[in-house]
Amino acid sequence: MSPIRTARPAPTTRWGRLLDRLASQSLGGTILLAAAVVALVLANSPLAGGYTALRDTHLGIPALGLDLSIGHWAADGVLAIFFVVVGMELKREFVTGSLRDPRAAALPIAAAVGGMLVPAGVYALVVVIAGVDALRGVAIPVATDIAFALGLVAVAGRGLPSAFRVFLLTLAIVDDLLGILVIAIGYTDGVDLVWLVVSLVAVAAAWFVMHRGIGAWWILVPLGLVAWYGMYRSGVHATISGVLLGLCVPAKPIGRDEVSMAEHMERGWTVVSQAIALPVFAFFAAGVPLTAGGSFTATVSDPVFVAVALALVVGKPLGIVTVVALLRRLPAFRLDPGLRFGDVVALGALAGIGFTVSLLIGELAFRDDPAHLEVAHLGVIAGSLVSAVIGIVLLRLRSTRHAIEQRAAREGGDTHDEER
């Protein structure tokens, strides 16, 4: 019989407090950024040869079709852990969270769609005008990095209404969901149905086991490995298996449990994701020479670099802000009363941080085209960095604005303006 899952008490040991910190968005984003910076420094230092050799070292079992480089393992294997967490977050938000209320979720969902279509259009416009054969990378700027964006809100957005985080979280989760669909549909060349069935049977078995209240790792981990292997061999990107497994985790308590299995499991998986999976992926994906285009000047003027960076910095916020501006007055859509339009502008800038999933889509789009791959990765890094800086500035301004309004409200003043 499985133990009854109860609400987790506040950690009292140093180890427990460390795990809680590792599960936090702010520290997770910091570790991710540190891994990316170290990789970028190594790739542009005298140690670049050793870094490249490590990334390209092959590990695996050729007889099982798993003769992959370490960099390939990071993108196709380790990153699946991150997508398990994404799947659990999606399930929880749809069942008990912000996506449960269609009217409340309608505006951030629509904003997420606008925040995908407009940057994709910006990317396509730039590469078509430049006459470059790189349209396969059109989906690179469509996703928002949840860890980075929410980490910045935790650090620089203190004083913002809770509705800000809910809107951003909903938008980023929908972004991830749509990005996952893009990966599954747009970057799958052919599907081996036998292996796909093997993967889906393992996923179904995991669903059955967990919905019987069984969460033993020695049952779920082997099922997860079979699901991952079957998905990989099927030709569909293997990280999709992680999403499906995450969606299988019950988001409501079962039997006598006080908390859901998703809530019980999410902390541990988030720690593994943020402390291991995401930094490992970033370390092997972000190590790109700044002279990938031939020279630094040639790199930053390369159409693919410009297209990716411009789509993230300009296209992402433009799509989100435009959709909210057009729809927020309509009956079917509702902007939370605690949010101002200026908050949406700051939120749009943060959404331009497209690090993790954007790097993954770049890897899938240009895996057979190293020149475009490296330039696209640099575009993701540059665009995400600029978006982060703009986002921090706007977060500070909005936090100050809300603090002034709250102080005035306590004193009986009125600072409401035409911002709404």
pLDDT given for residue 233 in this prediction? 95
Q: Tokens 């993701």 correspond to what residue?
A: 380
Same domain membership, residue 35 and residue 169 = yes
Confidence class of residue 75 from pLDDT cuts 50, 70 and 90?
very high
pTM here is 0.88
Quick one: what percent of the chain has pLDDT higher than 90?
60
pLDDT tops 90 at residue 116: yes
3-state secondary structure the chain: CCCCCCCCCCCCCHHHHHHHHHCCHHHHHHHHHHHHHHHHHHHCCCCHHHHHHHHHCEECCHHHCCCEEHHHHHHHHHHHHHHHHHHHHHHHHHHCCCCCCHHHHHHHHHHHHHHHHHHHHHHHHHHHHHCCCCHHHCCHHHCCCHHHHHHHHHHHCCCCCHHHHHHHHHHHHHHHHHHHHHHHHHCCCCCCHHHHHHHHHHHHHHHHHHCCCCCCHHHHHHHHHHHHHHHHHHCCCCHHHHHHHHHHCCCCCCCCCCCCHHHHHHHHHHHHHHHHHHHHHHHHHCCCCCCCCCCHHHHHCCHHHHHHHHHHHHHHHHHHHHHHHHHCCCCCCCCCCCCCHHHHHHHHHHHCCCHHHHHHHHHHHHCCCHHHHHHHHHHHHHHHHHHHHHHHHHHHHHHHHHHHHHHHHHCCCCCCCCCC
Residues 178 and 210 in one domain: no
Is residue 173 located within the same domain as residue 208? no
Residue at 140 is within a domain: yes
Over residues 342-361, the mean pLDDT reads 94
What mean pLDDT do residues 54-69 have?
91
Q: Assign residue 213 a region (left: φ > 0; alpha: ψ between -120 and 50; beta: otherwise).
A: left
Q: Are residues 208 and 141 in the same domain?
A: no
The answer to whether position 242 is within a domain reads no
- Checking phi first, is residue 288 left (phi over 0); if not, alpha (psi -120 to 50) or beta? beta
| pLDDT at site 19 | 65
Q: Do 215 and 312 share a structural domain?
A: no
196 and 328 inside one domain: no
Q: State whether 286 and 211 are in the same domain.
A: no
Whether residue 219 sits in one domain with residue 131: no
Q: What is the extent of the structural domain holding 217?
A: 188-236
d(CA 412, CA 405): 10
Tell me: the pLDDT tens digits for 273-332?
988 999 999 999 999 999 988 899 999 999 999 999 999 999 999 999 999 999 988 888
Task: Compute the distance between CA of residue 175 and CA of residue 169 in angstroms, rounded to an integer.
Answer: 10
User: Is 337 a member of any domain?
Assistant: yes
CATH number of the domain residue 135 falls in: 1.20.1530.10
Residue 397 falls inside a structural domain: yes
Is the confidence at residue 413, as pLDDT, over 60?
no
Q: Specify which of 147-151, 175-179, 200-204, 368-372 reaches the highest per-range mean pLDDT.
A: 200-204
Average pLDDT, the chain: 89
Evaluate whether residue 420 is within a structural domain.
no
The tens digit of pLDDT for each residue in 10-31 reads 565 666 666 666 667 667 778 8
Q: Taking residues 69-96, what's their average pLDDT?
A: 91
Domain count within the chain: 2
The tokens of 34 are what? 């540190």
Q: Would the pLDDT of 420 be above 60?
A: no
Query: How high is the pLDDT of residue 418?
Result: 44
What's the full length of the chain, in residues?
420
Summarised one tens digit per residue, pLDDT across range 165-224 is 889 988 988 888 888 888 888 888 788 999 999 999 999 999 999 999 998 999 999 999
Examine the domain organization and report whether 212 and 178 are in the same domain.
no
Please determine, for residue 252, whether its predicted confidence score (pLDDT) is greater than 50: yes
Q: Is residue 18 part of a domain?
A: no
Which residues, 6+ apart, have CB-to-CB distance to 358 below 8 Å? 140, 141, 142, 143, 145, 308, 312, 380, 384
* Same domain? 70 vs 207: no
Residue 8 lies in a domain: no
Do 198 and 165 lie in a common domain?
A: no
Q: Is residue 405 part of a domain?
A: yes
Are both 202 and 299 inside the same structural domain?
no
CA 48 distance to own-chain centroid: 28
State the CB neighbour count (10 A cutoff) for residue 56: 12
pLDDT score recorded for residue 178:
87
State the DSSP H helix or E strand holding residue 255, giving kind and residue range, or none if neither. Answer: none
Q: Strand pairing partners for 58?
A: 69
pLDDT at 110 over 80: yes
Question: What percent of the chain is predicted at pLDDT more than 70?
Answer: 92
